[in-house]
Amino acid sequence: MANAEHQPTFLVGDVTNLEMLAGPFDAGLDVGCFHCLDQIGQAKYVAEAYRLLGPGATLLLWALDNSPSELSISSDDIARVFEQGFLLKTATFSRRRLIASHWYWLVRDSGV
């Protein structure tokens, strides 16, 4: 049973502008946002993830291999887009229904 101190708060926002949040957080989870963004949106997403996640925090990201944004989404692409501030630890193939995708485990750098 959760007490009032630990009640979740659900917010709706834009993953490229999460100014209503202040970190640092220990972890982030994205199931289907990143792969819908264009290059500008992806850069803003990474900046927000970096701002909100503390040093050593984990970002677990699920993305389609063939994105609706028509940008390439591969392990190399994820490593490149997140290279300023994050290390790609693993990329694991996944198949959701008939759609090829990957889970990406990224770790935020120390910020030094």
pLDDT average per 10 residues of sequence, the chain (112 residues): 74 93 95 93 97 98 89 93 96 84 95 68
Sheet containing strand 99-108, strands side by side: 25-31, 53-64, 99-108, 86-96
pLDDT at residue 112, rounded to an integer: 63
pLDDT at residue 41, rounded to an integer: 96
pLDDT at residue 2, rounded to an integer: 57
Burial 25-62 (b: 16+ CB within 10 A, else e): eeebebeebbbebeeebbebbbebbbebbeeebbbebb
Task: Say if domain 24-108 classifies as CATH 3.40.50.150.
Answer: yes
- Model pTM? 0.88
pLDDT at residue 35, rounded to an integer: 93
Q: Domain segments of the chain: what residues?
A: 24-108
Q: Which amino acid is at 23?
A: G
